[in-house]
């Protein structure tokens, strides 16, 4: 395993640079010719994240096809650069570099996990590349060039936790994946519990590779909470739900991760997901007109991809953010990135007169100061047949960066990620 | 094993420190194994397990309590903001990025290659080849096999440390995925494909394979990984000694035929040592 | 707080998982010296076979048999076409099986998509006061133990077992004595693959059925094989016992992460101080005691 030789990555990146500069030399700085716009879509279609990444790729392609069929953006057709990064962060780094330097994309969508986002952010920032990160995530990224348009942990937990507190009582037990997303989400549970007169009886962090939950189940039974908050992540952790059902644990569970992304309620045999409440901005079952009516988002998606298994949360975010980009370019009247970023920062809203509705709700707005979206959030409950119904919904703005941190990217250029521990006593 | 130190120390100092840390880790691990009389494939498995232990540990270091100096280890999300490689002192320094980084890596590669060549062709090289070919016999001849192995292993660790520094500063980022099984297996693959007994082979195979893998990934084809897998299988089965020794041998044969030099070995004789 | 009953059930769970994760790998590595990096993919094949057949409406036991069969057939093909050529090149066999695993995962993804819908866990729960345990997971540990005993009997008490062990110890002599060593290697490899398939079949109801699911087992499998040492079955049993206890105890006391860390640190300590592994150490001890008598 000793890599005896100096890395070849230098070669690759540098040859990319070489070719990139050469290209830039002839075309005078902008690759997209006057009548097309080039968009980079880097989403996983193989490897560990393919299950959740593939719908993102498909939804981006759907949005681009729709826009092109309706005359493009300001009359310009969209071209795509869409390789498969294979769930590999190193590949992401290479491909992001290539997208920027050789393909000279006008906007970039990339990555499922937070680790991927952090892996390519240095490249993004150095090249001042307009970048959309569309996964629901722990929150706190305040970055001039990054638009984190998925819902944050505070938004997702902020809809489901108060609902469960109201329905079942104040005692919470938290189980979360043992890495950045899980640990920060657990901090948010504490902050929100404090705001809603609830108490966290205990919290437990579980390594991503763990598949045995018998001790976790015992701990929950011992603590006897009114409900559990679960931020478990990935294929391994899915076995928690089957195991707790098999062990006869019947406590209600709130989650920001299960069902909406990896459609566990379709993959696992009922009734393992019964009484699970997901706080989400979108899942296929969200009952809005623009989503479920004839010719709505769901219909259009499955018409284009009849064999697709599910239309997930992140797919919707990829979809509507492509329309947000379209709005911004038309508002700016150019694809030059500084101008488009200015236009995005002026606050784009979907569902207004010009722009189409987002499938998740009538209107949603991009907040120019924080580059985050004020989402329409839903609590979705699965019953013992795994039918999913909406039990609560309302608009929730991004709060952490705007209110607590005071991030304003229109005023100050930053590329930071803030965490709740620096601001809340409860999260310490 | 790519190890990296954060930016706390000043970058010029950080590079030798990072290499030193990797060297020490390799030395300790090597000491454990070779002086514990661990041999053969067990060495391979133990190094793989060590990697996995590191991965499990590093992935959960997201909390702020896990930090070296001011630099948080960052858990699964890794450490962003790793500076470019730079040499020099305050005021007089070069930072390597883009083209200059490429030349730096190329120079380091050539230097490492030449260093390794010199080592292999020197007295110690004979001991190394001896250990590879027949441990018992070389021990009879008075060499300390454990020491030879430990030296080579430690040296490998040092070079890995250097490559880790370059890798981290190339992307200005490092995360625990460098401790995955795949990442640990890849160098074995490159070396096998290029020819285990050929230094040049390792270099060429690494460049060629990674270029090929990247091109496949750019196509976005779902068959990319299948093609890579089958290609590797094909090479291992058909060109067992690796591509470079194979080409070398064939080329030599053609040259002999062309010049009429006699090759008195019967066809199919195993090729002679190419102690590159 | 350590609760004895909880600890016992957690130990069973952990022990069963380690034995089942490792046994296929251990047989192939211990008997043939081949490191099968496609081990996880064979487990995956077993799980896919089981799930597909069960989803088609077959009873679970039949579905599991189909899963084992699928892995065994895959093993036979792999041995005949690839591993057979690499018996004297352990590193090359590592590379080859790694490449094979890579391709297999992706082929399965292309054919069956990113996941299959799962089959529910059979049986119910065992209750004990405020606590309850999944009956199925408990049954798995019993199956693991039965498997170890069965494999032990096969390799020590049957004609086949004696031939197989003879082949491992001294292939030339075995061949001279009329053992078809080629066939022995093939059968051993196929048995190892079938065991991996069985692991996949048994865990199919308990896990998410995705193409990369095999990697779940790899850490435990490799750690158990290394710490188990030279004698395959004894080693696996001891390793699963020791590592499973550490895992269960520390998980119970300090949570799952510490449990995993404790297990891995223990494995490293074992390797440092018992280079021949747990089974090797036990044999040394036995010899020493035997020598004194």
Query: Is C228 a domain residue?
Result: no
Residues A316 and A303 in one domain: yes
Chain C closest-CA separation from residue A206 CA (Å): 6
Name the residue range of residue C99's domain.
7-217
Mean pLDDT of chain C: 86
Q: Is residue C41 part of a domain?
A: yes
A252 within a domain of the structure (yes/no): yes
A22-36, A104-118, C42-56: lowest mean pLDDT where?
A: A22-36
A194 CA: distance to closest CA in chain B (Å): 21
| Angstrom distance (rounded) from CA B97 to CA B170 | 8
In this prediction, residue B271 carries a pLDDT of 44
Give the residue from C2, C26, C12, C23 showing the smallest Cα distance to C245. Answer: C12
Q: Do A214 and A316 belong to one domain? A: no
pLDDT tier for residue A14 given thresholds of 50, 70 and 90? very low
pLDDT of residue A16: 41
Residues B79-119 pLDDT 10s = 776 777 766 555 555 666 777 888 888 999 999 999 999 99
Cα A325 off chain centre by: 16
* pLDDT at residue B185 tops 60: yes
Cβ-Cβ contacts under 8 Å, C102 against chain B: 225, 228-229, 232
The number of folded domains in chain A is: 2
DSSP state of A269: P
Share of chain A above pLDDT 90, in %: 66
Statement to judge: residues A302 and A175 lie in one domain: no
Q: Is the pLDDT score of A380 beyond 60?
A: yes
Residues C276-287: pLDDT tens digits?
A: 788 888 888 888
Q: Report the pLDDT value the prediction gives residue B50, as an integer from 0 to 100.
A: 78
Q: Does A401 fall in a domain? A: no
Helix (H), strand (E), coil (C) string for chain B: CCCCCCHHHCHHHHHHHHHHHHHHHHHHHHHHHHCCCCCCHHHHHHHHHHHHHHHHHHHCCCCCCCEECCEECCHHHCEECCCCCEEEECCEEEECCCHHHHHHHHHHHHHHHHHHHHHHHCHHHHHHHHHHHCHHHHHHCCCCHHHHHHHHHHHHHHHHHHHHHHHHHHHCEECHHHHCHHHHHHHHHHHHHHCCCCHHHHHHHHHHHHHHHHHHHHHCCCCHHHHHHHHHHHHHHHCCCCHHHHHHHHHHHHHHHHHCCCCCCCCCCCCCCCCC
- B181 or A204: whose pLDDT is higher? A204
Q: Which residues of chain A are within 8 Å of residue C199 when distances are taken between CB atoms?
A: none
**A193 and A271, same domain (yes or no):** yes
Q: Which residues from chain A sit within 8 angstroms of residue B47, using beta carbons? A: 1
At B191, the pLDDT band (50, 70, 90 cuts) reads: confident
pLDDT of C262 reads 84
Report residue B27 as tokens: 């030395």
Q: Among partner residues C124, C208, C260, which is closest to A239 by beta-carbon distance? A: C208
The mean pLDDT value for B45-56 works out to 76
Cβ–Cβ contacts within 10 Å for residue A428, how many? 10
Residue A402 covered by a domain = no
Contacts of C132 in chain A (CB under 8 A): 217, 221, 247-249
Do C92 and B240 meet the contact criterion of CB atoms below 8 Å apart? yes
Both A267 and A320 in a single domain?
no
Kindly state the average pLDDT of the residues C136-141.
86
| Least-confidence region, from A35-39, A335-339, C190-194, C237-241 | C237-241
- Overall average pLDDT of the A247-267 stretch: 91
Q: Tell me the C-alpha distance between C124 and A246, whole Å.
A: 6
Report residue B136 as tokens. 């018992």
Q: What is the pLDDT of residue A361?
A: 87
C103 found inside a domain: yes
pLDDT of residue A22: 39
A405 domain-assigned: no
| pLDDT tens-digit readout, B113-156 | 999 999 988 888 888 888 888 888 888 888 888 889 899 989 98
Residues A259 and A241 in one domain: yes
For range A371-387, the mean pLDDT: 94
Say if A66 falls within a structural domain: yes
The pLDDT, as a whole number, for residue B10 is 55
Does the interface predicted TM-score (ipTM) exceed 0.90? no
The per-residue pLDDT for A369 is 94
Are A7 and A142 found together in one domain? yes
Quote the pLDDT of residue B267: 43
- Whether residues A74 and A173 share a domain: the answer is no
Residue B165 has a pLDDT of 84
Between C233 and A428, the higher pLDDT residue? C233
Question: Is the predicted pLDDT of residue B37 greater than 80, yes or no?
Answer: no
Q: Does any domain span residue C116?
A: yes
**Band (B273; pLDDT cuts 50, 70, 90):** very low
A404 within a domain of the structure (yes/no): no
Handedness of CA C190, C191, C192, C194 (dihedral sign): positive
Q: Residue A254 belongs to a domain with what CATH number? A: 3.40.50.2300
8 Å CB contact of B167 and A7: yes
Mean of pLDDT values over C114-137: 79
What is residue B274's predicted lDDT score, i.e. its pLDDT? 42
> How many alpha carbons lie under 13 Å from residue A120 in its C-beta half-sphere?
33
Determine the average pLDDT of the residues in C152-163.
86
Collect all residues of chain A within an 8 Å Cβ-Cβ radius of residue C207: 211, 235-236, 238-239
Rounded to an integer, the average pLDDT of B161-178 is: 82
Q: Count the Cβ atoms, other than its own, within 10 Å of residue A287.
A: 12
A15-24, A203-212, A265-274: which has the minimum mean pLDDT? A15-24
- What per-residue confidence (pLDDT) applies to A145? 96
Tell me the pLDDT tens digit for each residue of A124-140: 998 999 999 999 999 99
Task: Identify whether C147 is part of a domain.
Answer: yes
- Same structural domain, A254 and A310: no
Whether A17 shows a pLDDT value over 60: the answer reads: no
Is residue C79 situated within a structural domain?
Answer: yes
Which of B50, B213, B236 should be substituted to probe chain C, the one whose Cβ sees the most C Cβ atoms within 10 Å? B236
DSSP A207: -
Structural domain contains residue A172: yes
Residue C157 lies in a domain: yes
pLDDT tens readout for residues C241-285: 898 888 888 888 887 778 887 888 888 788 777 777 888 888 888
Q: Is residue C45 part of a domain?
A: yes
Domain that holds residue A227: 153-283+379-396+416-427
Same domain, A317 and A259: no
- Rounded CA-CA distance A86/A78 in Å is 24
| Chain B residues with a Cβ under 8 Å from any Cβ in chain C | 32, 36-38, 40-42, 44-46, 48-50, 52-53, 56-57, 60, 181, 185, 188-189, 192, 196, 222-226, 228-233, 236-237, 240
User: What pLDDT is recorded for position C255?
Assistant: 76
Handedness of CA C114, C50, B49, C80 (dihedral sign): negative
Whether residues A212 and A359 fall in one domain:
no
C99 to B223: CB separation less than 8 angstroms, yes or no? no
Domain match, A102 and A164 both: no
Taking Cα atoms as reference points, which of B147, B232, A153 lies closest to residue C100? B232
pLDDT value at residue B190: 85
Residues 6+ apart with CB under 8 A from B260: none
For a pLDDT cut of 70, what percent of chain B falls above it? 79
Looking at residue C72, its pLDDT comes to: 96
DSSP per-residue codes, A319-381 = HHHHHHHHHHHHHHTS--HHHHHHHHHTT-EETSSSSPPBTTBS-EEEETTTTEEEEEEEEEE
Domain count, chain C: 1
């Amino acid at each position: 395993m000793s890599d005896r030789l100096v890395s070849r990555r230098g070669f690759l990146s540098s040859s990319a640079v070489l070719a990139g500069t050469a290209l830039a030399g002839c075309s005078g700085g902008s690759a997209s010719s006057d009548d097309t716009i080039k968009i980079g879509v880097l989403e996983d279609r193989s490897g560990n994240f393919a299950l959740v990444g593939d719908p993102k790729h498909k939804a981006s392609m759907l949005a681009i096809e729709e826009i092109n069929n309706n005359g493009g953006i300001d009359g310009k057709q969209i071209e795509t650069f869409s390789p498969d990064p294979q769930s590999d962060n190193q590949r992401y780094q290479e491909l992001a570099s290539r997208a920027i330097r050789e393909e000279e994309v006008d906007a970039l969508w990339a990555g499922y996990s937070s680790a991927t986002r952090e892996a390519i952010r240095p490249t993004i920032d150095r090249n001042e590349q307009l970048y959309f990160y569309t996964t629901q995530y722990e929150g706190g990224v305040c970055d001039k060039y990054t638009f984190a348009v998925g819902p944050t942990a505070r938004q997702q937990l902020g809809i489901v936790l108060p609902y469960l507190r109201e329905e079942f009582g104040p005692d919470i037990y938290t189980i979360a994946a043992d890495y950045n997303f899980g640990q920060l989400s657990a901090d948010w549970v504490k902050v929100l519990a404090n705001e809603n007169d609830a108490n966290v009886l205990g919290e437990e962090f579980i390594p991503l590779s763990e598949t045995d939950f018998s001790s976790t189940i015992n701990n929950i039974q011992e603590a006897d909470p009114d409900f559990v908050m679960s931020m478990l992540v990935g294929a391994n952790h899915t076995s928690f739900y089957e195991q707790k059902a098999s062990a006869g644990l019947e406590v209600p569970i709130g989650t920001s991760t299960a069902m909406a992304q990896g459609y566990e309620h379709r993959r696992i045999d009922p009734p393992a997901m019964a009484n699970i409440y997901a706080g989400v901005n979108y899942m296929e079952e969200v009952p809005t007109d623009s989503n479920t009516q004839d010719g709505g988002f769901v219909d259009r998606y499955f018409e284009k991809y009849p064999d697709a298994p599910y239309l997930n949360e992140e797919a919707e975010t990829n979809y509507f953010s492509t329309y947000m980009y379209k709005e911004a370019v038309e508002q700016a009247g150019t694809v030059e990135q500084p101008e488009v970023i200015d236009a995005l920062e002026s606050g784009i809203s979907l569902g207004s007169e010009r722009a189409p509705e987002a499938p998740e709700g009538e209107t949603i707005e991009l907040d120019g100061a924080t580059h985050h979206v004020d989402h329409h959030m839903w609590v979705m409950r699965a019953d013992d047949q795994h039918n999913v119904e909406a039990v609560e919904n309302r608009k929730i703005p991004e709060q952490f960066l705007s209110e607590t941190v005071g991030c304003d990217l229109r005023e100050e250029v930053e590329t930071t990620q803030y965490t709740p521990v620096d601001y809340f006593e409860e999260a310490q | 094993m790519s190890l990296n130190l954060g930016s706390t120390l000043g970058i010029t100092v950080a590079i030798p420190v990072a290499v030193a840390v990797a060297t020490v880790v390799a030395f300790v691990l090597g000491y454990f194994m070779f002086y514990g009389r661990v041999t053969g494939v067990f060495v391979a498995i133990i190094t793989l397990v060590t990697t996995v232990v590191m991965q499990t540990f590093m992935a959960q270091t997201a909390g702020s309590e896990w930090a070296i100096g001011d630099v948080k280890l960052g858990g699964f999300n890794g450490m962003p903001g790793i500076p470019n490689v730079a040499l020099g002192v305050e005021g007089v320094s070069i930072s390597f990025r883009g083209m200059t980084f490429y030349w730096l890596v190329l120079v380091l590669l050539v230097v490492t290659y030449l260093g390794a060549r010199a080592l292999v062709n020197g007295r110690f090289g004979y001991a190394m080849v001896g250990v590879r070919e027949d441990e018992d016999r070389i021990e009879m001849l008075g060499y300390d096999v454990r020491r030879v192995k430990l030296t080579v292993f430690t040296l490998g660790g040092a070079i890995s440390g250097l490559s880790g520094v370059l890798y981290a500063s190339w992307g200005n980022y490092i995360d625990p995925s460098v401790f995955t099984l795949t990442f640990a297996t890849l160098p074995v693959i490159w070396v096998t494909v290029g020819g285990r007994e050929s230094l040049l082979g390792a270099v060429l195979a690494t460049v060629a394979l990674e270029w090929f893998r990247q091109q496949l990934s750019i196509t976005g084809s779902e068959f990319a990984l299948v093609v890579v897998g089958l290609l590797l299988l094909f090479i291992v089965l058909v060109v067992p000694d690796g591509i470079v020794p194979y080409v070398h041998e064939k080329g030599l044969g053609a040259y002999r035929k062309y010049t009429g030099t006699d090759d008195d070995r019967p066809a199919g004789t195993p090729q002679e040592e190419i102690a590159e | 707080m350590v609760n004895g009953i909880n600890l016992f059930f957690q130990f069973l769970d952990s022990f069963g998982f380690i034995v089942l994760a490792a046994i296929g790998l251990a047989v192939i590595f211990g008997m043939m010296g081949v490191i099968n990096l496609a081990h996880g993919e064979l487990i995956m094949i077993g799980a896919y076979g089981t799930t597909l057949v069960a989803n088609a409406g077959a009873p679970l036991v039949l579905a599991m048999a189909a899963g084992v069969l699928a892995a065994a057939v895959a093993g036979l093909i792999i041995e005949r076409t690839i591993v057979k050529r690499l018996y004297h090149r352990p590193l090359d066999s590592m590379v080859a099986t790694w490449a094979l695993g890579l391709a297999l995962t992706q082929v399965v993804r292309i054919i069956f998509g990113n996941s299959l819908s799962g089959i529910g866990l059979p049986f119910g729960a065992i209750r004990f006061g405020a606590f309850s345990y999944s009956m199925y997971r408990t049954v798995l540990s019993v199956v693991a133990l039965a498997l170890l005993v069965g494999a032990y009997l096969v390799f020590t008490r049957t004609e086949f077992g004696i031939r197989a062990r003879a082949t491992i110890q001294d292939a030339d002599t075995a061949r001279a004595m009329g053992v078809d060593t080629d066939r022995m290697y093939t059968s051993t490899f196929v048995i190892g693959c079938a065991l991996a398939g069985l692991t996949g079949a048994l865990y199919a109801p308990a896990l998410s059925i995705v193409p990369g699911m095999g990697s779940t087992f790899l850490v435990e499998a490799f750690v158990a094989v290394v710490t188990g040492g030279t004698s395959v079955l004894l080693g696996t049993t001891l390793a699963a016992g020791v590592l499973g206890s550490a895992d269960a105890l520390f998980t119970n006391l300090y949570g799952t992460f510490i449990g995993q860390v404790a297990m891995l640190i223990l494995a490293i300590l074992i390797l440092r101080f018992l280079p021949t592994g747990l089974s090797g150490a036990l044999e040394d001890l036995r010899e020493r005691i035997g020598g004194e008598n």
